[in-house]
A and B are shown apart, each in its own frame.
Chain A
Amino acid sequence: MSIPATVPLKPAPWKDPSARPYVQLERLTKKFGDFTAVDDISLKIYQGEIFCLLGASGCGKTTLLRMLGGFETPTSGKILIDGEDMAGVPPYQRPVNMMFQSYAIFPHMNVEQNVAFGLKQDGVSKAQIKERVATMLDLVKMGDFARRKPHQLSGGQRQRVALARSLVKRPKLLLLDEPLGALDKKLREHTQFELISLQEKLGVTFVVVTHDQEEAMTLASRIGVMNHGEIVQTGTPSEIYEFPSTKFVADFIGSVNMFEGKLVEDEPNYVRIQSDELGSTIFVNHGISSPPQAVVWAAIRPEKIFMSIARPEGTDNIVQGAVQDIAYLGDLSIFLVKLPTGKVVRVTRPNTSRHSEEITWDQQVYLNWDSTSPVVVTR
């Protein structure tokens, strides 16, 4: 997991209570028999956003997307798009387009005909169709492949055709189901940034479903983390990464060291947590709202733990351990440090200089972290 993506430069409409949401979900629930796929979700998505629904497979994110597209009927609750209730509106009358996970490119039509399909349904004139299709194909850099059949295209090219086809009708809202899932890693990274620049150019609102947290971090203006049909946290990528609200979110996004402990000092401006797992106390320089003596978890990201051979200054947040394993990843190295309590702590260090302080296997090291680094979650 790399450093989280930069905070979007656009103003944040979700912080403005007077802003009108473009998509509004009100207590949306979908049940398949006894199974609740989407459980009482309320959500507001604003114009121009890239909103990522992030979750493991089976968490209900695709069902939610399909309800927005009109392919599933909600069991209860409401979907409003641009202020209009979508109940009973079939997919072919919604102001929404969708890019399918399988891309769903019509195999019996060539690239051009695929992209033109949506415009034909709207009765756009032939000359206009031709012009708009050509413009759109140029935009996704597929202009040279207009006459190709889908089976003659690579995965990345199919993805572009699917994107062009879903954007050519100029929808206000585009739903993307795992848009980059079928691409290899290098191509995926490249396409992520293209997708963002395209979205900014066209001003379309994107709702993206993905299970890939890196993808969500790169693309999203906001992320909704889903688990068991519920949205457990909504926020910008950095909010989700830096201030996860639950153990699940902290663990799901990136890697984290989780220490269970008890609140022993609970003041408005700091807390101290006694953790048996750590064999020490954790000092956090801000207050939290939790009953005293409650069981809490302190989550510390691996890159926020410093490692040294000499004992660092200060008294708080310092533990000693032995290096158990080292993984060299090029840009950074991962160290697994075993504490006397048996707990293994994950620490990452950027390989900034070629000859940094040499730390090898079985070496005794000190770990310490800033008192702002731990995130305390209560569930």
Chain B
Amino acid sequence: MNERRSLFILCCLGFGFAFLYIPILSMVVFSFNASKLVTVWDSAHSPTLKWYAALLDNDEILDAAWISLKVAVINATGASILGMLAGFSLSRFSKFRGRFALNAMTTAPLVMPEVITGLSLLLTFVAMEQLIGWPAGRGLTTITIAHITFSMAFVTVVIQSRLATFDSALEEAAMDLGAHPMKVFFVITLPIIFPAILSGWLLAFTMSWDDLVISSFASGPGSSTLPMVVFSKVRLGVSPEINVLATITIAVVTLMMISVALWMARAARLDKARQ
């Protein structure tokens, strides 16, 4: 009985892992495929790194990656600052004029279909250009603004929920010990909620890096983000370079996860050693 059950559990585990990782694994494997046809394994010449070399020569993809990176970093930073301000005002001030409206507006992008958000942003940009001449055309600026608009909502929610469990006595104690409210914010509040801000930042970064729909509405000529380029290429048939790009992305993410885990383990060990 026991053995049969453990076998069943093992099967579940195997199936779960297969479901999650076989698509990724197949992509990684095919990135070393020599054949130009993605679905045909050329066993004579594989594995090969030739598509990796080709990717380095592909300016279109590299440019798009560079644009995506810039947009993602500016977006994550801007969204974190705005989201923090919104999160603070929503969780610290119980009553003020327009609180309900602010709450509704910051959370709206969470439930709004991306197509609608993208379209409304496009209309706004065009109207603004006609009225005040800024932003001139669609490009990096409009993509970044559009991304901040929708990813700020997520940062707000993260920070608001962190502040909900924040013991306000900590701030009072710092004030009681002689710190000015401004200093209290930077020395006490900010460091304590920093993990929440960091996860908000990473969330905003990932969402921007990943976004296709809203970027498509807000972009103009010469400002295609990586997902846009990948998507347009896939429509003409998946090229092996896309597999390479995906493999590199996976490698970077995995490396980051492993180093964070190692760093946390090390911090815990040091803490213990200090006792």
- The one of A91, A101, A149, A152 in contact with B175, judged by C-beta atoms closer than 8 angstroms, is A91
- Given A71-B172, A102-B169, A106-B170: A121 in contact with B178 (beta carbons within 8 A): yes
Neighbouring A residues of B274 by C-beta, 8 Å:
147-148
- Give Cα A335–Cα B174 distance, bound, in whole angstroms: 51
Which residue from chain A places its CB closest to the CB of B170 in the assembled complex? Answer: A104
Known interface pairs A98-B173, A117-B174, A149-B271; A104-B167 also in contact (CB < 8 Å): yes
Contact A97 B275, CB 8 Å, known A91-B172, A106-B170: no
| Residues of chain B lying within 8 A (CB to CB) of residue A148 | 274-275
Chain A residues contacting B188 (CB-CB under 8 Å) are 106
Residues in B neighbouring A98, C-beta threshold 8 A: 172-173, 176
CA distance A321 to B170 in the complex (A): 57
Q: Which of A26-51 contact B (CB under 8 A)?
A: none
CB B169 to nearest CB in A, in angstroms, measures 4
Total interface residues on A, CB under 8 Å, equals: 28
**For B167, what are the chain A residues with a Cβ–Cβ distance below 8 Å?**
102, 104
- CB of A97 within 8 A of CB of B177, answer yes
- Asked if residues A91 and B191 are in contact (CB atoms below 8 Å), the reply is no
Check if A107 sits within 8 Å of B192, measured CB to CB: yes
**Contact status A106-B174, CB under 8 Å:** yes
Q: Check B176–A152 contact: CB distance below 8 A.
A: no
B178, A152: Cβ atoms closer than 8 Å: no
**Distance A91 CA – B168 CA, assembled complex (angstroms):** 14
The verdict on B180 contacting chain A, using a C-beta distance below 8 Å, is: yes
Assess whether A193 is interfacial by the CB under 8 Å rule: no
Residue B29, interface by CB 8 Å: no
**A149 to B167 CA separation, bound complex (whole angstroms):** 17
B172 and A121 within 8 A (CB): no
Q: Which residues on B sit within 8 Å (CB–CB) of A101? A: 169
Q: Report which of B172, B179, B183, B191 forms a contact with A104, defined as CB distance below 8 A.
A: B172
Given A108-B192, A148-B275, A149-B271, A118-B178 contact (CB < 8 Å): yes
Give which listed residue, B177, B180, B181, contacts A118 with CB less than 8 A.
B177
Chain B residues 127-156 with CB under 8 Å of chain A are: none
Partner of B178, one of A71, A102, A104, A169: A169
* Complex CA distance for A71 and B183, rounded to whole angstroms: 17
B173 to A, closest residue via Cβ: A104
Are A100 and B174 in contact (CB-based, < 8 A)?
Answer: no
- Tell me the smallest distance from the CB of B6 to a CB of chain A, in Å: 38
Q: Flag B257-275 by CB within 8 Å of A: 1 or 0 each.
A: 0000000000000010011
**With A102-B167, A102-B169 as contacts: A92 and B175 at CB distance below 8 Å:** yes
Contact of A100 among B173, B181, B271 (CB under 8 A): B173
CA distance A92 to B167 in the complex (A): 18
Tell me if A121 and B177 are in contact (CB < 8 A).
Answer: yes
Contact A92-B169, Cβ < 8 Å, known A106-B188, A108-B192, A147-B274: no
The answer for the CA separation of A93 and B183 in the assembled complex, in Å, is 14
In chain A, positions 97-131 with a C-beta closer than 8 Å to chain B are 97-98, 100-102, 104, 106-108, 117-118, 121-122
Interface set of A (CB-CB < 8 Å, partner B): 69-71, 90-93, 96-98, 100-102, 104, 106-108, 117-118, 121-122, 147-149, 152, 165-166, 169
Q: Return 20 A-B CB contacts under 8 Å, by A number.
A: A90-B175, A91-B175, A92-B175, A92-B177, A96-B176, A97-B176, A98-B172, A98-B173, A102-B167, A104-B173, A106-B170, A106-B188, A107-B170, A108-B192, A117-B174, A118-B177, A118-B178, A149-B271, A152-B275, A169-B178
Closest 10 CB pairs between A and B?
A118-B177, A121-B178, A104-B173, A104-B169, A91-B175, A100-B169, A108-B191, A98-B176, A92-B175, A121-B179
